[in-house]
Amino acid sequence: MTEGVARRRLLRLAAGAGLAAAGLSIAAAREPVAARVDDAFANRPVRRRIGSAAAGRDLASYRRAVAAMRALPTSDPRNWNRQAQLHNEHGPHASWLFLPWHRAYLFCFERICRELSGDSAFALPYWDWSTDPWIPADFFEAPLGYEVRDGTASARADPAFVGPGALRAILNEPNFLVVGGPPPPDGQYGLVEQGPHNHVHGLVGGTMGTLMSPLDPIFWAHHGRLDRLWVEWNIDRDHPLPDSDDWWHTEFTEFVDGTGRPVRISMATVALMPLVAYRYDTQAVT
């Protein structure tokens, strides 16, 4: 792709999908569009590390959202079990779709949390098992606790899988086909999935060791950290994504927005999300 093509693709997205991802509408603008867009991008919600003082408000909103989603009827696609069922039925593993599908999944889940918690600035807090290897205490108390779990408060993530050396090996590998996995249907783990992803699922255990793992509220905090790792690799370290039509033409259509309406999410939108819709508290390139 030439630089001109890349720029045109970006501008199209910024005018459409990217702005939609950020929750903006040019048509509704009353102020100069450029100023609104710049402000909205710069002030987009920040996903924060659980344990940091700033994450307290998001955890409170997360508790309200989880309780509200569990109380929804199963006819509502935002219902807690219905959301977990999405992972069971559609969640790709051992392929290059693993990382983008889970990013889109978290993005829509975050929108639902925002709507049901009443916190329009909510961003999904993440569990940084690389620095805090114990399951966060908040996830042993209702409504974030979960009964079908093996991991106790003393269970500790193993640095062989989540420590600095393990993450450095991932961040230093330049080929996305190794880091994220190969195109389907080859069926091979990428470094992120076979290492920290699988390990933490197994450490928490119980339902987290199954494809219904999103029933455990820790799932979303775990995958937030995995998404942060992808952001570090792709955006902060500037390792490229595939330049392949098979990759860029992928769309996800199984998700719903905060109000329960179906959405269609392109791979380009997924790629841009950390630059326009949310960012991490550690993100170097914003």
Partner 1 sequence: MTAGARLLRGAALELTTLREWPGVVQRHGPIVVTFPGTEEVTRSSQVHLTFRVMGLDGPVEGGLLVFLGSATPDIDGDAYVGAVAFFTHAGHAPAPYRLPISAALNRLGRAAPAEALTATFVPTHDRPLEVAATVALIRSTVARR
Size of interface with partner 1, in residues (CB under 8 A): 62
Nearest distance from residue 182's CB to partner 1, in Å? 7
Q: Which is nearer to partner 1, 108 or 166 (CB)?
A: 166
Identify the residue whose tokens are 């999904």: 124
Does 13 help bind partner 1 (rule: CB under 8 A)?
Answer: yes
Nearest distance from residue 34's CB to partner 1, in Å? 15
Does 165 help bind partner 1 (rule: CB under 8 A)?
Answer: yes
Of 61-69, 120-128, 255-263, 265-273, the segment contacting partner 1 by CB under 8 A is 265-273
Distance CA 110, CA 116 (A): 10
Sole binder of partner 1 in the list 22, 68, 144, 235 (CB under 8 A) = 235
Determine how many CB atoms are found less than 10 A away from the CB of residue 239.
17
Does 275 help bind partner 1 (rule: CB under 8 A)?
Answer: yes
Does 240 help bind partner 1 (rule: CB under 8 A)?
Answer: yes
Upstream peptide bond of 32 is cis (omega within 30 degrees of 0): no
Does 164 help bind partner 1 (rule: CB under 8 A)?
Answer: no
Sole binder of partner 1 in the list 131, 174, 246, 262 (CB under 8 A) = 174
| Cβ(269)–Cβ(241) below 8 Å | no
DSSP class of residue 193 equals: I
Q: Which is nearer to partner 1, 31 or 245 (CB)?
A: 245
Distance CA 265, CA 108 (A): 10
Q: Which of residues 86-125 bind partner 1 (CB under 8 A)?
A: 93-94
Sole binder of partner 1 in the list 51, 159, 184, 260 (CB under 8 A) = 159
Distance CA 179, CA 278 (A): 22
Angle at 34 between CA 31 and CA 38, to 5 degrees: 105
Does 147 help bind partner 1 (rule: CB under 8 A)?
Answer: no
Q: In terms of C-beta density within 10 A (0-12 exposed, 13-18 middle, 19 or more buried), how is residue 242 classed?
A: middle
Distance CA 278, CA 282 (A): 12
Distance CA 226, CA 232 (A): 10
Nearest distance from residue 195's CB to partner 1, in Å? 6
Does 166 help bind partner 1 (rule: CB under 8 A)?
Answer: yes
Distance CA 198, CA 208 (A): 10
Residue 225's nearest CA partner among 125, 105, 136 is: 125
Beta strand 251-252 with 265-266 is antiparallel
Nearest distance from residue 168's CB to partner 1, in Å? 11
Does 185 help bind partner 1 (rule: CB under 8 A)?
Answer: no
Q: Which parts of this chain interact with partner 1 (CB under 8 A)? A: 1-3, 6-7, 9-10, 13-14, 18, 93-94, 150, 158-161, 165-166, 169, 173-178, 182, 187-191, 193-195, 197-199, 201-203, 205, 209-211, 234-235, 238-244, 247-248, 268, 271-272, 275-276, 285
